[in-house]
Structure 1
């Protein structure tokens, strides 16, 4: 079982996330948080892959242990929080022509490009953008990938509300938007999502524009969407915002929505 969730959602989205049920025996609700700072993209991707593989190995051992009527291991949950140097990533369903720079152009902008195994099209990561990579075993919470995406979105929506920004969802699109209401004249995307889920273990995640240099989005067709703008907390508030403060606020909201215990 291997799911990919893209920038464009295939189903109608729900407006709210249901309350999570109390943990059952064998479920681990601890969330190990790693604050990595500014780190290159590829080593972080490799770390995600290693954590995913380690968790899948535990689940494989648990399957054999269950058949042998032996005790089961708890599976871990990780959250990597970081910023990246300028980089463009293309998901499995993306179109290479949505990158508008050639190799010379990438070098001129001190940017790199990578094809990766998440869902979705092309997106940008860079300094001043809060990137979160949850490697969660959804068997510890709920086995519903669409609900999981809504939880990530809701954590961002609640964080933005802390800064008096009214954000929400646009029907049929994954991510978090300002001026999202039907008929709004200037919908602006402030957070992108793209995830992979293997045997209910997630990787990849979200990218929230805090103090991001938005000019870099001008070199791509973000998530393949041509008729909507991109924005950031800095642009909306007219001032630089503490990315560490945003990070800690988002952590608390995400933990509350998942019913998770934060561990460092």
Structure 2
């Protein structure tokens, strides 16, 4: 798929990428963006099964470490990554796009929500719970997570969306520290469950996402 915006590289991995390898690649790109030596990046991928612990992770939320556990510099608590989940690592220079982290997080949420709407899922944010939410039957459930880090106004990490993962794998943690809410997926909701469809929906809304951050200088 070609990049939706000419000045931002749009990269799609064709096989699962080990977490540590992905983070090293992302951080190298962030340093290059800061130095003015590389384009900004949207990198869509998936990981082998892992749990990641954000900067506010509570050890009590790690219930059953059946997969490797990685500490990470992003905000948030424990989350699961694995096959069937679309990860979006977003490396943008907020130094020329508004310098507003709160606006950036809301823009990420709205971008994912718009893409999910394209495939028939009514998702929404919740003010006191960062992430992407929807209704699964009669209850509220989380379908996507947001976890970001900003270093010298360059963004790292990004979002994850449950397309068709094994939802039982979330059972080893309290996802995002929220024990009272289940997780769901595009597949569980009975919608088209493939990466290509979701990636295309994201691409259609990349322009509005970038524009919402403020005018580049």
For the criterion TM > 0.5, the same-fold answer is: yes
Question: How far apart are residue 140 of structure 1 and its match?
Answer: 3.1
1:193-245 deviation per Cα after TM superposition (whole angstroms, max 9, x unaligned) = 000001210001100000111001111000111111100000011x6612122
Hey, what does 1:15 align to over in structure 2? none
- Aligned equivalents of 2:159, 2:114: Cα separation in 1: 15
Question: How far apart are residue 143 of structure 1 and its match?
Answer: 1.4
User: C-alpha root-mean-square deviation of aligned residues, in Å?
Assistant: 2.2
1:167-204 deviation per Cα after TM superposition (whole angstroms, max 9, x unaligned) = 10112111110139xxx951100000000001210001
Of the two structures, which has the highest relative contact order with CA contacts closer than 8 Å and spacing of 6 or more? 1
Kept after mapping to 2: 8 A contact 1:129/1:209: yes
SS at match of 1:236: coil
Hey, what does 1:246 align to over in structure 2? 198
Hey, what does 1:42 align to over in structure 2? 20
1:131-171 deviation per Cα after TM superposition (whole angstroms, max 9, x unaligned) = 00001101232211111111111111111111222110112
- Structure 1 stretches of 4+ with a deviation exceeding 3 A read none
Say if 1:87 and 1:43 are closer, same or farther in 2 by CA, change over 3 A. same
Hey, what does 1:3 align to over in structure 2? none
Larger gyration radius, structure 1 or structure 2: 1
Hey, what does 1:31 align to over in structure 2? 8
Hey, what does 1:85 align to over in structure 2? 48
- Aligned equivalents of 2:150, 2:208: Cα separation in 1: 22
Gaps of 5+ in 2: 213-217
Question: How far apart are residue 74 of structure 1 and its match?
Answer: 7.4
User: Number of matched residues?
Assistant: 207
Equivalent positions of 1:109-188 (< 5 A) are 111-179=67-135, 186-188=139-141
TM-score (norm 2): 0.88
- Aligned equivalents of 2:97, 2:7: Cα separation in 1: 11
Hey, what does 2:58 align to over in structure 1? 95
- Aligned equivalents of 1:46, 1:196: Cα separation in 2: 14
Does 2:150 match 1:197?
yes
From 232, 244, 255, give the equivalent of 2:185: 232
